[in-house]
Structure 1
Amino acid sequence: MRANSQATTDAARERFEPVLRTAGAGADQYGSELFAVVDVLDASAGLRRALTDPSREGSDKATVMTSVFGGKVSEQAVDLLAGLARGRWSADVDIADAVETLGTDAVLASAEAAGALLEVETQLFSVIRLLAGNRDLRLALSDKSRTVAERIQLLETLVQDKVEPQTATLLSRALGNRRSTTLTAGLVRLNEAAAARRQQLVATVTAAVPLTAAQREKLSGILQRAYGRAVQLNVAVEPNVVGGVRIQIGDEVVDATTLTRLDEARRRLVG
């Protein structure tokens, strides 16, 4: 997002956080409501333009938002949406992205309140790895000749009773989200959002052989010093990995040897 949209989104997230804390484990209700709002916004470019038109007064745009969604979602969600409409936007699609982010925040806040946030993060990564190793499953879940409901049902048969309710909600959302380029890309973003809520970066480590506890601890320490914050390691084993280990953090791929040299240089600089 560009500056105006990002500022509006950040302000909305800050305002929404106390509401989520109050709702506790029930915050996932807001997530479901907001995801439904995103689907409406995705389907109507005219509505998005009406809600983000810089020539209109913020109060007018808030009235439009309230008239469309009032009575269909909770009062708290309507208030949040009206606040978004009053904000400034760099592009009309950004308002849908913002609501998607807020819906994800709500589901993750629910998991956090239930003491299941780490478990949700781990389960999302497990599904990512499952998809990476099963081409037929990836194709089946991406098959546009099947309805979203059918694809969700297929995924639910694979993970039924094996994941937290919040994980199931996010998996379903990833399947129904039209703006993700692929299902895996959508799941990676959700996994990173869960880690961010725990104030950690996610490092996906692909190794030729399983890492020992000592190796994981050492690598985690190197990454934490290199990036200046805690890092959650998600480790996958692929015997054909060249060089023994591959590390990806967001869009950045780092070589373990390079990272070790970087860490050593930084330690020398600080004495």
Structure 2
Amino acid sequence: MRATSQTSVAAASERWEPVLRASGERARQFGEQLFAVADTLGESASLRRALGDPARDGEDKSRLVASLFGARVEPEVVDLLGGLVRSRWSSDEDLTEALEELGASSVLAAAQSRGELVQVEEEIFLVDRLLARERDLRLALSDMEVAPQRRLALAGTVLGARVLPETRLLVERIVLVRRESSLTSALRRVGQLAAARRSRLVATVTAAAPLSHAQEERLAEILRRAYGQAVQVNVGIDPAVMGGIRVEIGADVIDGTVLARLQDAQRRFAG
């Protein structure tokens, strides 16, 4: 998203957050409804253009939203939609993307209301790590030519029966309607949203062997000092890195693995 759309999403999130805090588990229903509205916009370019048109009066767009969705979604969601369409967007696709993000945040808020947000975050991370390792599984879930029900069935096999309902909903949503460049990037985005709800950044750490609890705590403290806020450290294991660790925080990558140093040495020797 470009700056105009990012500003609109941030403003909508700020207005929406008190509603989520007051709604408890109803927030999951709000999320499902926002996903449904996003689907409607995704299927209709003309509606998307009408609602994202900066030349069209904002109140007119708000009335259009109320007439289309007022009987299908909760009043709180109608109010949110009205504010969204009155805002300015860099492109009409950004409005759909904003609905996805607000929907995911709503689902996460439901888990948070029960004190289970951390568990959802951990479950999402485990799915992300599994797909990062299992290329064939990742490709099968990513293939939009495969019937949706087959992909959902496969996702259900991956998740098993014991994950929280919010985890299942979010993973199935990503599998069915992926708007990020890849499944893993979409999962990481949800993880970032979960961490943000706890006022934390997410550090995805890849190591050749598991870190001890003390090592994780030490790394989290180093990153906290570097970034100026608490950091959630999620560790994935990849023997191919041979030694050292690779840390990803947003767009920042700190690669201190043996493999990276060997590759750098090879480049220097060749060049």
Whether the TM-score (by the shorter chain) exceeds 0.5 is yes
- Matched with 1:124 is 124
Question: C-alpha deviations, 1:100-154, integer Å up to 9, x for none?
Answer: 1110110010010011100000000000111112122112212333222321121
Distance 2:240 2:6 in 1: 40
- Root mean square deviation, CA, Å: 1.5
Distance 1:256 1:184 in 2: 22
Distance 2:66 2:249 in 1: 39
Q: CA deviation at 1:242?
A: 5.0
- Matched with 1:187 is 187
User: Conserved in 1, the CA contact under 8 Å of 2:89 and 2:95?
Assistant: yes
Q: Does 1:175 align with 2:182?
A: no
Distance 1:192 1:59 in 2: 33
Instruction: Give the structure-1-normalised TM-score.
Output: 0.90
* Alignment map for 1:99-248 (pairs within 5 Å): 99-248=99-248
Match for 1:183: what amino acid? L
Distance 1:224 1:41 in 2: 40
Distance 2:44 2:162 in 1: 36
Distance 2:135 2:68 in 1: 41
Q: Secondary structure at the match of 1:110?
A: helix
Instruction: Give the structure-2-normalised TM-score.
Output: 0.90
Aligned residues: percent identity?
52
- Matched with 2:62 is 62
Q: CA deviation at 1:243?
A: 4.6
Q: Does 1:6 align with 2:6?
A: yes
Q: CA deviation at 1:24?
A: 0.4
Q: Which runs of 5+ in 1 are unaligned?
A: 258-271
User: Conserved in 1, the CA contact under 8 Å of 2:120 and 2:166?
Assistant: yes
User: Conserved in 2, the CA contact under 8 Å of 1:195 and 1:202?
Assistant: yes
Match for 2:120: what amino acid? V
Q: Secondary structure at the match of 1:131?
A: helix
Q: CA deviation at 1:86?
A: 1.2
Distance 1:199 1:15 in 2: 17
Question: C-alpha deviations, 1:70-103, integer Å up to 9, x for none?
Answer: 2111111111101111112221111111111110
Q: Secondary structure at the match of 2:239?
A: coil
Q: Which runs of 5+ in 2 are unaligned?
A: 258-271
User: Conserved in 1, the CA contact under 8 Å of 2:178 and 2:186?
Assistant: no
Q: CA deviation at 1:3?
A: 3.0
* Alignment map for 1:61-100 (pairs within 5 Å): 61-100=61-100
Q: CA deviation at 1:28?
A: 0.2
- Matched with 2:36 is 36
User: Conserved in 2, the CA contact under 8 Å of 1:200 and 1:232?
Assistant: yes
How many pairs are equivalent? Answer: 257
Distance 1:2 1:128 in 2: 27
Distance 1:147 1:181 in 2: 20
User: Conserved in 1, the CA contact under 8 Å of 2:16 and 2:80?
Assistant: yes
Is the alpha carbon distance of 1:160 and 1:239 closer, same or farther for their aligned partners in structure 2, counting shifts above 3 Å?
closer
Match for 2:60: what amino acid? D
Match for 1:193: what amino acid? L
Q: CA deviation at 1:53?
A: 1.2
